[in-house]
């Protein structure tokens, strides 16, 4: 028993339903933690099956398979001598629970079910699990027969409890541990909760005084009355947070704030573990395993990495926690607290006296948290996600239709970022990455040594132009970028295929559609644009299927096609259904135009790609209409709003939960011509709606813009149902899968009650403005 203890938080690259692979990574992380002197290892939420199993959590196999894998961990003697916190789903009384399994020396100390389930945004835990609704209570869990044979008992405690060791108490927002003296332990009433057999010597359960360490899941931390509050008042010293938290731009800052504040006031050791990587869905789990002591970060893992097993350890001094809690006010609150947790007692000590006497061992010092910029997050998150997706899909590489515009440029630059990350991992000796590169990039026996060399083997770009619609500038920009990043590039025209489709209409119905610049109607113009767009999608997939074989790749294979529609265009449907926005995956589908521009501007310098400057300076255009001496198609002119305005509309609609009328009420002030300047140029709420750089409009112009946005959104909503799966990067993403569920057949917005309310409020505002103007004129 000692005051110095070493703990481990892990970030594993789990893959949904990769049972043996997931278990292998769990065991490897336990072994590494032990090698580094840790006596407590905390894993991520549902790490045995992988967090992203979705409706597989409704299948009996998922639960029985999880116990099969837990059996392997229980039998592996390499996992002895350390308390292990493992995440797995558990069936109890025919109810499904999201649980933490606390293991020591081949025995189960406690099964702790999650109490507060995540059920917003991308999370649907209520669809798959039920919460544990009995705080500070436990009951017996009947173990499966194959587990009974190993642990020697038929039942273990199931519920909201903490683990008490001779030197501390462990718990979490998903188990807790308490600090007691050896005398307390020897005198404890060892009530046998294990009715089917003799209780192991190092496990008992009773109510006794002492400090505890609670366990949390990620959602429990985000709740107003988080479990760590009551647990800390009841003596818990170490909090284990097992998370399944996915990436969103700049979300880490909020997460760090919540985690550090959890122990800044209450004191304690906080161990945060999270899954890392793509586990088979649109989400990237961004790791960042951490250890925090009294609100100070003392260890932090990577947020983005290609390593499948990352273990972060820290040595902490428990006396620092106790000293932090010496304030009289805290003692009074603890005395008044009615939350008394059941202690699951064990003879196993987290620390030992020898470590206290070893002067070479010192507590880990506070460090400054590492927080990436938006530009870095886009490069690293999307790059790591694409590599995970590629290596696990079995495909031969990626293909991007490169238009010469900034969106497809961003997608191609992200693939180049992926190649940079992979090459660096190879240089760092990551054997898993080296093996994957050997398997995927196998046109010759020589391993690529530069990002460009890797790009040339696994990345194809293709420019599909039209002689009248496509400009020399876009064609040249596409070529320059492909040369700079090393992609295998194809430059072709699709005029013949387009003309064949156009003739098909003429031959069938005797009508020849014309472009608007040639006198055609809006519908004719739209028809001809869509033919081009859809031909490009078909062409991209054709080349993706045949190129690896044509280029002589051993075993052939196919390329995954990447889409390049940004979040703003998806919101208002500024894309053709089943055009090049239809692909296998879209790495920029929830990123707005402004962030993409910032990323490209950053990459120009960071990646040494001077050709990117031309993309930044070019006017966004779809180039689907013929170019004339007085007309060039413009994206923002077509949409009737700027990309900046689109971003604001998107944030207010989803994040601020505003409909048409609510958005008008907000923007009529934020975009007012007469608004006061805000110090620093922003209004401080983070949505970008206000601030000195926001638009300045009359109330009538605001009403017109809001109506136009919601009209376009409603009539194009059906397109969202077939959008390419996009890497989730923003919380205002319109992704239809489960993040933003809406109807796709709307009543005509122009006649809606919301629009009528806007008109009524606009009339009231304009009447008041007229009165104020009249009074002002009289005063002259």
Task: Say if CB 80 and CB 120 are below 8 A apart.
Answer: no
Total domains, the chain: 3
Q: Is 481 exposed, middle or buried (0-12, 13-18, 19+ CB in 10 A)?
A: buried
Give the Cα separation of 369 and 389 in Å (integer). Answer: 28
Longest dimension (CA), the chain: 97
Task: Say if CB 551 and CB 717 are below 8 A apart.
Answer: no
Residue 289 to residues 228, 272, 276, 476: CA-CA distances in angstroms?
A: 18, 5, 9, 44
Structure-token pair, residue 452: 């460009």
Same domain, 509 and 645: no
Is the predicted pLDDT of residue 523 greater than 70, yes or no? yes
* pLDDT in the model for residue 217: 45
Q: Given 542, 565, 588, which residue is the final one in a domain? A: 565
pLDDT tens across 237-249, in order?
999 999 999 999 9
Task: Say if CB 566 and CB 593 are below 8 A apart.
Answer: yes
Q: How many CB atoms lie within 10 A of CB 559?
A: 26
Is the predicted pLDDT of residue 221 greater than 80, yes or no? no
pLDDT grade for 225, boundaries at 50, 70 and 90: low
Residue 631 or 268, more confident: 268
Residues 458-479: what's their mean pLDDT?
A: 94
Give the Cα separation of 114 and 45 in Å (integer). Answer: 10
Residue 225 to residues 135, 173, 222, 266, 767: CA-CA distances in angstroms?
A: 12, 11, 9, 13, 47
Phi, psi of 582 (to 5 degrees): -85, 115
pLDDT grade for 108, boundaries at 50, 70 and 90: very high
Q: Is 254 exposed, middle or buried (0-12, 13-18, 19+ CB in 10 A)?
A: exposed
- Domain CATH code at residue 540: 3.40.50.620
- Residue 612 placed within a domain: no
Give the Cα separation of 608 and 631 in Å (integer). Answer: 34
Give the Cα separation of 477 and 493 in Å (integer). Answer: 16
pLDDT grade for 443, boundaries at 50, 70 and 90: confident
Give the Cα separation of 204 and 193 in Å (integer). Answer: 8
Q: For residue 304, which of 451, 413, 420 has the smallest C-alpha distance?
A: 420
What does the CA dihedral 295, 296, 302, 303 come to, rounded to 10 degrees? 40
Is the predicted pLDDT of residue 316 greater than 50, yes or no? yes
- Residue 318 placed within a domain: yes
Q: Is 315 helix (H, G, I), strand (E, B) or coil?
A: strand
Q: Is 45 a catalytic residue?
A: yes
Residues 546-575: what's their mean pLDDT?
A: 93
Same domain, 341 and 386: no
Q: For residue 343, which of 186, 192, 209, 489 has the smallest C-alpha distance?
A: 209
Phi, psi of 512 (to 5 degrees): -110, 110
* pLDDT in the model for residue 398: 99
Is the predicted pLDDT of residue 514 greater than 90, yes or no? yes
pLDDT tens across 705-719, in order?
999 999 999 999 999
Place of tokens 């683990």: 163
Residue 240 or 633, more confident: 240
Contacts of 122 (CB under 8 A, 6+ apart): 246, 282, 283, 728, 738, 739
Same domain, 456 and 496: yes
Q: How many CB atoms lie within 10 A of CB 546?
A: 13
Give the Cα separation of 447 and 456 in Å (integer). Answer: 12
Task: Choose, from 53, 99, 136, 218, the residue flagged as catalytic.
Answer: 218
Q: What is the DSSP letter of 575?
A: S
Give the Cα separation of 24 and 287 in Å (integer). Answer: 18
Give the Cα separation of 453 and 593 in Å (integer). Answer: 29
Q: Given 565, 581, 616, which residue is the final one in a domain? A: 565
Give the Cα separation of 507 and 49 in Å (integer). Answer: 57
Contacts of 137 (CB under 8 A, 6+ apart): 159, 160, 342
Task: Choose, from 34, 107, 114, 712, the residue flagged as catalytic.
Answer: 114
Is the predicted pLDDT of residue 198 greater than 50, yes or no? no
Give the Cα separation of 220 and 243 in Å (integer). Answer: 10
Q: Is 220 a catalytic residue?
A: no
Q: What is the DSSP letter of 292?
A: E
pLDDT tens across 476-503, in order?
999 999 999 999 999 999 999 999 999 9
Task: Say if CB 559 and CB 488 are below 8 A apart.
Answer: no
Q: Given 303, 330, 357, which residue is the final one in a domain? A: 357
> Mean pLDDT score of the chain, rounded to an integer?
89
Residues 642-667: what's their mean pLDDT?
A: 95
- Residue 733 placed within a domain: no
Q: How many CB atoms lie within 10 A of CB 695?
A: 18
Is the predicted pLDDT of residue 73 greater than 50, yes or no? yes
- Domain CATH code at residue 324: 3.60.110.10
Give the Cα separation of 292 and 287 in Å (integer). Answer: 15
Task: Say if CB 268 and CB 236 are below 8 A apart.
Answer: yes
Give the Cα separation of 225 and 216 in Å (integer). Answer: 12
- Residue 384 placed within a domain: yes
Q: For residue 141, which of 192, 193, 102, 214 has the smallest C-alpha distance?
A: 193
- Residue 243 placed within a domain: yes
Same domain, 322 and 410: no
Number of helices followed by number of strands (H, E) in the chain:
27, 24
CA pseudo-torsion sign 242, 244, 247, 248? negative
Same domain, 305 and 419: no
Per cent of the chain over pLDDT 70 is 89
Residues 504-510: what's their mean pLDDT?
A: 96
Q: How many CB atoms lie within 10 A of CB 303?
A: 23
Q: For residue 174, which of 107, 101, 125, 224 has the smallest C-alpha distance?
A: 101
Is the predicted pLDDT of residue 196 greater than 60, yes or no? no
Chain centroid to CA 215:
22
Give the Cα separation of 438 and 195 in Å (integer). Answer: 54
Give the structural domain span for 560: 374-565
Same domain, 117 and 196: yes
Q: Is 403 a catalytic residue?
A: yes
Task: Choose, from 179, 243, 273, 403, the residue flagged as catalytic.
Answer: 403
- Residue 700 placed within a domain: yes
Phi, psi of 316 (to 5 degrees): -125, 155
Q: How many CB atoms lie within 10 A of CB 183?
A: 9
Same domain, 476 and 344: no
Q: Which residues in 576-591 are b (16+ Cβ under 10 Å) and which e?
A: bbebbbbbbbbbbbbb
Chain centroid to CA 105:
34
Chain centroid to CA 676:
37
Structure-token pair, residue 265: 């006031």
Task: Say if CB 348 and CB 198 are below 8 A apart.
Answer: no
Radius of gyration for the chain, computed over Cα atoms and rounded to the nearest angstrom: 30
Same domain, 93 and 229: yes
Q: Determine which helix (DSSP H) or strand (DSSP E) holds 561, and give its type and residue range.
A: strand 559-561
Residues 100-118: what's their mean pLDDT?
A: 96
- Residue 554 placed within a domain: yes
Same domain, 337 and 392: no
pLDDT grade for 266, boundaries at 50, 70 and 90: confident
Is the predicted pLDDT of residue 203 greater than 60, yes or no? no
Residue 220 to residues 119, 228, 243, 255, 262: CA-CA distances in angstroms?
A: 12, 9, 10, 12, 11
Per cent of the chain over pLDDT 90 is 74
Same domain, 465 and 322: no
Q: Is 114 a catalytic residue?
A: yes
* pLDDT in the model for residue 681: 53
CA pseudo-torsion sign 32, 420, 251, 261? positive
Give the Cα separation of 633 and 631 in Å (integer). Answer: 7
Phi, psi of 82 (to 5 degrees): -155, 140
Same domain, 545 and 458: yes
Q: Is 175 exposed, middle or buried (0-12, 13-18, 19+ CB in 10 A)?
A: buried
- Residue 731 placed within a domain: no
Strand ranges inside 244-396, DSSP E: 269-274, 276-278, 284-286, 290-293, 296-300, 309-317, 342-345
Task: Choose, from 29, 34, 44, 45, the residue flagged as catalytic.
Answer: 45
Phi, psi of 353 (to 5 degrees): -65, -30
- 3-state SS string for 644-696: HHHHHHHHHHHCCCCCHHHHHHHHHHHCECCCCCCHHHCCCCCCCCCCCCCCC
Q: Is 242 helix (H, G, I), strand (E, B) or coil?
A: strand
- Most confident region among 67-81, 438-452, 672-686, 723-737 by mean pLDDT: 67-81
Same domain, 133 and 198: yes
Q: How many CB atoms lie within 10 A of CB 627?
A: 16
Contacts of 391 (CB under 8 A, 6+ apart): 436, 439, 440
Chain centroid to CA 770:
49
Structure-token pair, residue 276: 């890392």
């Amino acid at each position: 028993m000692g005051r110095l203890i070493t703990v481990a938080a892990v970030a594993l690259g789990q893959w949904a339903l990769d049972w043996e692979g997931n278990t292998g990574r769990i065991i490897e992380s336990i072994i590494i933690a032990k090698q580094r002197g840790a006596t407590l290892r905390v894993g991520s939420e549902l790490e045995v099956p992988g967090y992203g199993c979705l409706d597989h959590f409704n299948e009996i196999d998922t639960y029985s398979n999880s116990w099969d894998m837990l059996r392997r961990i229980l039998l592996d003697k390499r996992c002895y001598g350390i308390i292990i916190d493992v995440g797995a789903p558990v069936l109890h009384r025919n109810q499904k629970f999201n649980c933490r399994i606390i293991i020591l020396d081949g025995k189960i100390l406690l099964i702790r079910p999650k109490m507060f389930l995540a059920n917003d945004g991308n999370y649907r835990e209520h669809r798959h699990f039920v919460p544990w609704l009995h705080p500070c209570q436990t009951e017996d869990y009947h173990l499966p027969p194959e587990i009974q044979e190993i642990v020697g008992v038929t039942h273990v405690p199931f519920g909201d409890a903490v683990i008490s060791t001779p030197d501390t108490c462990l718990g979490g927002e998903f188990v807790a541990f308490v600090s007691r003296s050896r005398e307390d332990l020897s005198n404890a009433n060892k009530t046998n909760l294990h009715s089917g057999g003799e209780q192991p010597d190092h496990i008992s359960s009773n109510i006794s005084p002492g400090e505890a360490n609670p366990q949390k899941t990620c959602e429990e931390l985000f709740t107003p009355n988080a479990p760590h509050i009551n647990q800390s008042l009841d003596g818990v010293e170490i909090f284990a947070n097992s998370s399944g938290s996915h990436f969103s731009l700049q979300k880490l800052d909020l997460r760090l704030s919540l985690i550090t504040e959890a122990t800044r006031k209450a004191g304690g050791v906080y161990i945060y573990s999270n899954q890392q990587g793509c586990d088979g869905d649109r989400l990237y789990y961004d790791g960042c395993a951490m250890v925090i002591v009294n609100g100070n970060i003392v260890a932090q893992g990577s947020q983005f990495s290609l390593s499948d097993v990352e273990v972060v350890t820290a040595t902490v001094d428990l006396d620092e926690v106790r000293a932090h809690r010496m304030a009289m006010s805290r003692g009074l609150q603890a005395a008044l607290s009615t939350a008394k947790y059941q202690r699951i007692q064990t003879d196993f000590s987290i620390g030992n006296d020898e470590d206290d006497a070893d002067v070479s061992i010192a507590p880990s010092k506070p460090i400054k948290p590492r927080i990436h910029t938006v530009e870095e997050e886009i490069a690293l998150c999307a790059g790591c996600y694409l590599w995970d997706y590629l290596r696990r899909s079995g495909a031969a590489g990626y293909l991007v239709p490169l238009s010469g515009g900034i969106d497809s440029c961003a997608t191609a630059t992200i693939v180049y970022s992926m190649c940079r990350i992979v090459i660096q991992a190879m240089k760092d000796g990551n054997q898993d990455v080296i093996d994957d590169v050997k398997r995927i990039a196998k046109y010759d026996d020589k391993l690529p040594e530069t990002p460009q060399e890797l790009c040339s083997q696994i990345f194809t770009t293709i420019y599909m132009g039209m002689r009248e619609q496509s400009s020399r500038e876009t064609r040249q920009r596409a070529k320059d970028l492909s040369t700079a990043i090393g992609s295998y590039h194809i430059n072709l025209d699709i005029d013949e295929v387009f003309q064949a489709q156009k003739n098909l209409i003429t031959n069938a119905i005797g009508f020849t559609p014309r472009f608007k610049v040639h006198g055609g109607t809006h519908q004719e113009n739209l028809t001809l644009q869509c033919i081009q767009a859809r031909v490009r999608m078909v062409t991209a997939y054709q080349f993706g299927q045949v190129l690896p074989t044509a280029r002589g790749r051993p075993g052939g294979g196919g390329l995954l096609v990447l889409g390049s529609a940004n979040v703003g265009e998806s919101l208002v449907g500024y894309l053709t259904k089943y055009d090049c926005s239809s692909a296998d995956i879209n790495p920029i589908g929830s990123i707005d135009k402004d962030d993409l521009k910032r990323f490209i501007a950053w990459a120009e310098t960071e990646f040494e790609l001077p050709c990117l400057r031309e993309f930044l300076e070019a006017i966004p255009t779809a180039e689907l209409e013929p170019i004339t001496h007085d007309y060039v198609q413009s994206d923002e002119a077509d949409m009737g709003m700027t990309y900046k305005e689109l971003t604001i509309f998107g944030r207010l609609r989803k994040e601020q939960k505003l409909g048409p009328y609510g958005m008008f009420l907000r923007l009529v002030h934020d975009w007012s011509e007469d608004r006061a300047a805000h110090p620093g140029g922003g209004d401080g709420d983070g949505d970008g709606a206000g601030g000195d750089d926001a638009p300045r409009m009359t109330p009538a112009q605001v009403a017109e813009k809001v109506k136009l946005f919601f009209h376009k959104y409603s009539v194009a909503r059906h397109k969202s149902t077939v959008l390419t799966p996009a890497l989730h990067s923003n919380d205002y993403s319109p992704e239809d899968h489960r993040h933003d569920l809406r109807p796709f057949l709307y009543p005509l917005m122009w006649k809606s009650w919301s629009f009528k309310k806007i008109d009524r409020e606009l009339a009231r505002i304009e009447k008041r403005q007229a009165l104020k103007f009249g009074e002002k004129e009289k005063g002259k």
